[in-house]
Structure 1
Amino acid sequence: MGGDADVDALAVLVADAEGVSDAARAVQIREVRVLAAAGLLAEKQAAGASEKVKAREMALRGIAAELAGVFVTTDRTLQRRIDEARDLVENYPVTMAAWEAGRIVRGHVRVIQEVGCLVPVEERAEFERVAVGKCERETPNRVREALRMLAERIHPRTFTERHEEAAAGRCVRVQAGADGMSDLIATLPTVIADGIVDRLTRQAREVINARAQADVAGAGATPDDARADASGGITDAITTVCDGSTFVDARTIDQVRADVFSDLLLAGAPALDPTATGDGDGDGTLGKIRAHVQVAVSALTLMGADDGPADLAGRSPIDAATARELAGNATSWDRLLTHPVTGTVLECDSYRPTAAMVRLLRARDRRCRFPGCRQPAIRCELDHTIAVSVGGPTQAGNLAHLCKRHHDVKHHTRWQVRQLPGGRLVWTSPTGRVYREDAPPPLVAFAITEPPGPTAPTGRGDGHSDSTRAPARRPSGESRSGPGSAGPPPF
C-alpha cells in the first residue's frame, strides 16, 4: 500500500523513467538516421560504376565492416540494420514523425515496418496513417494482428498470389544455442509445416504406444490403459528387450518427436528424387548423401580420460559422448600435432592420402578469418594473403580461410590484411582501424607453471616442454596431455 512518502518517491521514479524513455528514444532515432546515411554513402560510392549493383554491394560491405567494429557486432548484422534503417527513413515518413514526436515507441515502429512490407508502395501512406492511430491506443504485442488484418484489407492482390511468391523464399537455417544445442528453423508454407508436426506427433505416439504395450503383459494393464498413458505426453520408464539387451526408454513425446525428426532427415531418402533411375537398383544420389560435419576433439577426451567438450568447427561446443560416437563412425581422421607451449598447429596428417596443406589450414583456422565471422572453414575459400600475381607464395604462412562474402570484401574494397607468424591476421579498415584476428585457440595447450631456475634443464629445443617441468593447472573441462611428449596429440 505505502504512505504519502512512498507515493512521492514513486512519482519521482516515474518522472525519471519518462526522462530515460525520452533519452532512449532520441538515441534510437539518431542511430537509425546514422545507419540510413551509411546506406546512402554506399549508394554514392557506387554511382557511375559500370556494374552498379555489385559496386554498391561491395561498398555497403566495406562500410558495414567498418561500423561493425564500433557497434561490436558482425558486418552481416550491420548490413542488415543499414538496410532496415534506410527502408524506415525513406519509406515510412509518417511512422518516423510519430516516433520522433513520442506518439509511438520502438516496438510499434518494428511492427509497422514488418507488416508494412506486405502493402504496396502506393497504398503505404494510408496504411501508415491508420496504423499509427491504432498503435497510439495499444501496446506493440497487441497491435500486431490488427495491423496484419489492415494490410490484408488494403492490399490489392489476392492472398493466393502473394503466398505463391512468399513460398519461393522457403529456407532452412541453424541458430546455435547453449549447452551444445541449436534451433533448426525451417521457413515453410503453413500447411506443410503443420503437416510435418502432425506426422511427427503421430509417429511419436506410435513409438510410445508400442513400448507401453510391450510392458502390458508384465504389468497386468490393458492396451487401452497403455494408450491413455501415452497420449498424455509423459510416461514412466519402460524396460524393453531388443536383440537380447535391455534398455530403459523414458522419453517424452516431445523428445521422441525430435528423435524421429532427426532420424528422418539424417537417414531417410526423399520421396521425390530426380536422380533416382527407377530401375530397382535402390535410392538415387540424394538418398545416399550423408551429413558432413567437422569436429575437433582431444585424444584424452576421445579415449574417455576426461569429458571435456569437443568443438564443432565454426559453430559451438558439443558434448564428449556425441564426439566419441561420431569418431567411432568416422571413415577417416585428421591428426593435429600442436606446439606444446603455444598450442599452434604445427602439422597435420591423415590415414588416407589428401592435400596436407589444405588439412593443416582447415585445422588451424576452423572458421572464416575475417573479424567477427563464424562461417566454418569447410564452407570457406582459401585465400592468398599476398596474391600470387604479385609474388605471394602458396604456403601456410600466406594462406587463410575466408568465406565468399569476406573474400569479396578483401578483393573489392579498401580493407587490407597482412599475415604474421602463427597464422595471425592483422586487418586494417578503410578508415585506419586495426583488428587482430588470431587463429582459434587449440583444444589442448601446455604451459609452464614456473620459470626454469639457474640449474633447471633448458628443454630439448624441439618445440616440446622438458619432461621435468610440471604442466600448469587447467580449468575444469579443459583437456591436456601429460608432461613432455608422453600424451598423444589432439585429434
Structure 2
Amino acid sequence: MSSSAGFGSDADVAALAALVADAEGAVDVVRAGQVREVRVLAAAGRLAREQSAGASERVQSHEMALRGIAAELAGVFAATDRTLQRRIDEAQDLVENYPATMEAWEAGRITRGHVRVIQDTGCVVPADVRGEFERAAIERCVGETPNRVRDALVHLAERLHPRSFTERHEAAAAGRCVRVQAGRDGMSDLIATLPTVIAEGVVDRLTRQAREIINARPQAEAATGPTEASEDADAAALGGADAAAPDSAVAGGSSFGGDTRTIDQVRADVFADLLLAGTPALDATADGDGDGNGTLGAIRAKVQVVVSALTLTGEDDGPADLVGRSPIDAATARELAGDNTAWDRLLTHPVTGTVLECDAYQPTAAMRRLLRARDRHCRFPGCRQPAIRCEIDHTHAASDGGPTCVGNLAHLCKRHHDVKHHTRWRVKQLAGGVLVWTSPTGRIYREDAPPPLVAFVTAGSPPGPSPDDGETRALVAPPGSGSTRFLVEPRPRMVRGRPLSAPRDDRPPF
C-alpha cells in the first residue's frame, strides 16, 4: 500500500489503528464509570425520599434530607452541594423515567450524549406515552451522533405533547422583544428574541452579505489601490464630507483595501448599518453612483423548511422542520409557502422517503434542488452543516470519469470536502443516496440520506390519509424565487393493510 496525503507512511496508519483500539477501550471504561455514577446519584435521591417518608411538612423534610446528602457527596465529587443536588435530581429522573435509555447506554448502544438528548427532548412527553417515545428515540440514536438526532427527537416529542406546537408557539411569540445587556470595555449585547425562522433568516442574510464584502476585497484593492482605499476609510472615520456611514461601518476596518475584519466582525458591522442607515454604508460591490445598487442590497435570506403535505394543506398542525436547527410552527410554514410563486414537485419513495424525481415547473437547476432536498446537510459522518452552506462533491471524481448525476453527487461542507480529497478517507455512493465512508484505519461508516420528518402515531389514533395513492408529492420553491424550500413527509402506500416494500416499476430509485 502506498502512502497518501495526510499520512507519512503506512506505519502512521498502523499507529493510528492502535490509538483507535485504545480509544475504544477507554470509551468502555468511561461509559461504565458514567453509568455507575448516575446510578449512585439516583440512589442518593431515593435515600432522601425514604428518609423524609411519613414526616410532617414532607416537601421541606425531603429538601433538607436531600441537602444533607448532597453536602456529604460534594466532598467526594469535589463540587458544590448545589451542583450535586441538581445532578442527583437529573440522575433520579433518568433512572426512574428512562429505564430503556439506561439499559441501551449501559449496553454501549448509545452514548452519554444521546442520553442527554433523549432526556432533554423527552421532558415534554406525557408519562403514559414516554415508553413509546423512548423506544423510538433509542432506535433513532443508534449509529448516529447526538447532534444529528436532536431535531428528529424534538419532532417526535412535539407530536406527543398534549398541546400542539402551534398553540405553544403563538403564546411564546407574544414575548418577542429586543433588549440590551451591558458588557465590558464599552461593548454590549443586543439581544432580539424572535421566532426561530426569522432569526435564522436574519443570520443567513448577514452571512451572505459579509461573504460578498470579503469576496470583493481583491477587486476593490485592485481598482483603487491599498493606499487610496485606506485614505478613504480614514476620511470616513474622521467625519469628512462623504462620511455618511455610522461609526460601526468603519469600526473594524474599511470594506475596501486593507480590510482585515473577520466574518463575525463584518456581520456585526453590516447588522448595525442595516438598522441605523437601512443599507450597508460601505458596500464594496456598489458602482459608486450613490444609488445603493450594489449586490449586498439584492441579497435575500434563505432558509430550508421540511413540512408534511398534511400540515401544508391544514389537515395537520404538526411542526415543520427548519433544517439544521429546530421546529417551526405550522402557521409560519404555511405563510412562508404562500410567499413563493414558483414550485417544483418532488416524488419520493413511498416507503423509505428517498427523493426519486424532481419535475420542474420552470427551467431551473433541478438537480441542485433535488440534492438539497435529499441531503439537507453535509454527508460526512456526524456533520450537520446545512446543505445550503455546503459544496456539491462528485463521489467518484469527475477527473477520474465520475458522471455528473444525482447518484454520484452529495453535499460536503468545505472542511469535510478537503478531508475527502486530501486524506485517506474514502467514500462510495450506493443506491438511494447512501454513502459508505472508510476511515484510514479501515473502519466503516454508513451515511444514509436523512430520514423524512418523524410521524409518530399513538395507539388508537387513526393514520392520516395517504395522498395520491401513496405517492408522496412535495412542493419545493427554487432558490431564486423566494425564501423557502418545502419537502413533504412521505407516507407509505398500503396494500391489504401492509406497506409496499418497493416503489412502482416506473419510478425506479437512484
Tell me if both proteins adopt one fold, taking TM over 0.5 as the criterion: no
Query: Which has the greater radius of gyration?
Result: 1
Q: Give the TM-score, by structure 2 length.
A: 0.40
Tell me the TM-score normalized by structure 1.
0.41
